[in-house]
Amino acid sequence: MITKQRTLKSSFTLRGKGLHTGLNIQIKFNPAPENHGYKIKRTDIMGTHIIDALAENVVSTMRGTVLGSSTVQVSTVEHALAALYACGIDNCLIDVDAPEFPIMDGSSIAFVQKILETGVKPQNARRIYLGFPRKKIRVKDEVSGASLTLIPSESFSIKSKISFDSVLLKQQEAYLPDISFFIKDFARARTFVFVREIESLLDRNLIKGGDMDNAIIIYDQIMEQEKLDRLSDILRVKRRDANHLGYLMNKPLNAPNEPARHKLLDIIGDIALVGCFIKGRIEANCPGHTINNLFAREIRKHMKTEEKSNMLNVPGFYWNQP
């Protein structure tokens, strides 16, 4: 069966706070023509500033994925891109009036719900999947041990493991057997941060919009009461006894492995920057935005190599020009 490309039936708008800037942000998702892919337009800057959402345009991976050109940047794009990819949207123009996407509740669910509410429109062009039936593609960080591998398969799945030096979050796994499971099992998985990281992030002018409604906050190392009180006041949350470790957020965990599920969600958002849909089995160990982006770049490099070597005519190779 031939799969057609798809776009949104109509535009939709969301408003929310920026995780790092704290700004009140409006983002608008628009239908786009065939073979357009995902593109992002900054509407708060004079002139036309459009960024192609492709792996080589990532300029930073500090606490999120940042896309940019020589003139403009936009950060925290991964949750929205994961929603578009998982909902089978090929083409979309995203307008945003700030240097980052709104964090919403720290997951993809708000974007998914609006896509489902708006509906999708089939287009005439064929969607051609990208796959490498005769090779594995692997990237590894020799220092941290983080790695991602794309293994040949006729379907798409992800198995991911995370590991932290934490009494509350040591090791977790998450498994997506098919992209159809994303909406039910992964879209609500929220981003997370350790309390011990917060002061450093604030010093770097980040997470100014972070709170207990848009992140899972993990208090896993006892600190001085005065220091914890100061951080609680900065985050505008209720003070707590510094001797009691635990998870801090206004809504309980959606699943015992919600942090691992969120890391898998991030993988999808970051591989959306390959520029087409993928066939293959992804195995990830300690994923993060930096290694995710290296992985997406490596896939694109192989994609371009196959194109140049005329592998497009070999049965089993799937190609989509972004």
Q: What average pLDDT does the segment 107-116 reach?
A: 98
Question: How far apart are alpha carbons 253 and 34 in whole angstroms?
Answer: 39
213 known member of a binding site: no
Give the range among 23-27, 70-74, 311-315 with minimum mean pLDDT.
311-315
266 known member of a binding site: yes
Pair of tokens at residue 169: 């979050």
Q: Is 225 helix (H, G, I), strand (E, B) or coil?
A: helix
Predicted local confidence at residue 141, as pLDDT: 93
pLDDT at 161 over 90: yes
**Active-site choice (49, 244, 289, 302):** 289
pTM summary value: 0.93
Long-range contacts formed by 200-207: CB under 8 A, 24+ apart: 201/63, 202/234, 204/62, 205/20, 206/20, 206/62, 206/63, 207/19, 207/20, 207/63
Q: What average pLDDT does the segment 61-79 reach?
A: 94
Give the chain's domains with CATH numbers: 4-132+260-313 (3.30.230.20), 192-248 (no CATH)
Residue type, 50: I
Question: How far apart are alpha carbons 306 and 136 in whole angstroms?
Answer: 14
Predicted local confidence at residue 299, as pLDDT: 96
289 in active site: yes
The residue behind tokens 């998702």 is 29
Predicted local confidence at residue 19, as pLDDT: 94
Pick from 168, 152, 149: nearest CA to 285:
149
Compute the mean pLDDT over every residue in the chain, rounded to the nearest whole number: 92
79 known member of a binding site: yes
290's CB contacts (< 8 A; 6+ apart) are 61, 141
Predicted local confidence at residue 316, as pLDDT: 40
**If pLDDT is split at 50, 70 and 90, which confidence band does 1 have?**
low
Give the range among 48-62, 153-167, 228-242 with minimum mean pLDDT.
228-242
Task: Express as a percent the part of the chain with pLDDT over 90.
Answer: 78
Predicted local confidence at residue 315, as pLDDT: 36
Predicted local confidence at residue 309, as pLDDT: 58
pLDDT at 102 over 60: yes
The residue behind tokens 């290296």 is 294
Pair of tokens at residue 209: 């919009």
pLDDT at 306 over 80: no
Note the helical H segments in 124-216: 182-185, 195-203
pLDDT tens-digit readout, 180-212: 999 999 999 999 999 999 888 888 888 888 888
